[in-house]
Chain A
Amino acid sequence: MVGITSFGAYIPYHRVVREEFYKAWGGFPIPGEKSIASYDEDAVTMAWDAGNNCLAGMDPKKVEGLYLGTTCAPYKEKQSSAIVATALDMRGDVRTADFCNSLRSGTQALSAALDAVKAGTVKNMLVATADMREGAPAGMGEAQYGDAGAALLIGDTNVVAELLGSYSVSDEYAGEWRAHNDHFVRAWEDRHLLDEGYSEQLPKAIEGLMKKCKVSAKDIAKLVMSSPMDVRRHGKVAVGAGFGMAQIQDSFFMTLGTCGAAMGILMLVTALEEAKPGDKILLAQYGNGADAFLFQVTNAITKKAKDHLSVKTLISSKRNLPYYTYLRWRNLVTVERGRRPEIPFTSLTAIKRSRKEVLGLYGKKCLKCGHVMYQMPFGIGGMTPIRVCYYCLSKDNFEDYRFADKKAKVFTYSLDLLADVIDPPGTPVFVDFEGGGRAWLDLTDRIPEQVKVDMPVEMVFRKMYFDRGIHNYYWKARPVRG
């Protein structure tokens, strides 16, 4: 049996209420709010967060590959999936691949993963997807696109949702697109893209799948179908394909917005979180054609550990931001920088040498005295390695010790108004880990006035800055989510 063995979503902490866009630009008010990735998040970090949530309580060393789907890869030439796999602490002998350039990137990664497991090439494959498409200010997309991620673990044992079949249609037409040098999403006339794109291709895929699997709409517990910006069309197409309103999975229009290549899988994760054994779930994602999959939920869904954060929790755990903060975080306004020293250049040599510590948040455990020690990322040449124990002074007698999955508490902090940061005040914290060890980190996704000594925090993989062509990823603490 091949199918989904685990699942988990990621939704950023921040929202902008759509009223803000109307206040800024006029037009007409659109209800609801949209999720926005923080200034220190991107498709890589959101895919990490979703993957981390999906793998909660599992050993990442047992995962045999990562396929990542996004239209917002930080690099044109450098694999996002390899970065995420490293940060998730996966092995080196795994398959990684990026699926890009289409709103079907997520479901295409899913197709490839299902095929790989079915073929016996791998025992399992993590599919992670994240997107953060931008519409130009004052446009429809700006108010309606949301940022999110979602991940599925595909495998052949302990399957919680078995794949019954899949069906795809490919289409040259894309009514929303970005050229190689575009930052914002372009859109053709909305009537055309809805009628001749979305409403044409999705029914073809859904009907093709149902025919292939010999099921009809009444057999389906949930239709999980990606939505276009105009949410009315989502319902119209679903109803047109024979589904009743109760069968249609909510597409987050009011809460998150249209989440690009992550959308279908994010909705699927939500459906799985509420599914019962025996439920048939039809996933359909539009983009340059459409992908459709039919899953049947198994009894294993009842045993699926509830140790991951649910979409419901992630949606309700939020902080609203004013529009100008969104503009600043997306670098859409030029803000006067504080007069501060230039940051030093980033050395790929130093990162590669310290990759395990930098991207994996590994420290050391002394084999003589048993103490665990965080590896400080500062020092000559980027990082001074732990060669001599901080406690018992024995030399080169350590095993690696991972801090990324440990809970911690704030020991001390400051709210730094002098630091030239994108989201002032700078919030440096020293945190003490459960199980020992202390680290000096930035606290992200925090409400400054709520920061306290002893506040519980968890480790998150974030982008520190972009400089001279290099996206610098490291770890931050964040107040425990949920």
Chain B
Amino acid sequence: MSNDSAKKTVKNTAKNTAKEAAFVSSASMAAELELVAKVAKDMSISVKNAKAIANRAGAKARGFAPITDFIDEMSIDTMKLVSAINKESTALSRVAISELRTRDAYSKFIQVKNNSSDANFISSLSASIENIKVKQDEEQAELIKYAKKLKSLMDDISQKMAVANVIVANSRIEAVNAEEYRSNLETIADDIDKSCATIRERVNQSFHRLENAMDQWKRLATDESNKHI
């Protein structure tokens, strides 16, 4: 992809994301993060290879074993986090859809109330409006709760990747001492480095996607409530 078309794609993605409803974002996010799970799985395999080489290298790569153990554990944790994110984003999507429907119903009830003040039984609609407002408030609180949880899970992955960067740098130093095993270990360190970069990039994108969607949702919710005041 050329630089220009890459810039265009980023611009279009940002534009689409800004307009996207929260339930679309969370569903898309879950799909995007599937790749993170795959990369983490590949990383776990690379680390197992590194471990086997370190075992063969014996004393020459003594410092490598704890590093590979750590990265292996981290990749398994990342897969678990992605699975948790999937669960939470599905829940967020479900609540966002329900909130959208509730908001629509609320808006329609208010419209009826405002436009039909002459109807004999218009006051009987008040209880329904109150009930639906309570439901809407509950759903909005739930939506914020799920979004916070998701951000925190994504933050956990980002932190793990930051630590992984330091560990990979250490592993390169250890690889220097591994003599004939050096180039194999360096290749594995490069692979892990690339995997971490991919995961970081994906998680960052998802994080911004979620933030944009929540901002968009808050704006719409505020506009709607101002409209009904």
Q: Do A and B come from one complex?
A: no
Interface residues of B (CB under 8 A from A): none
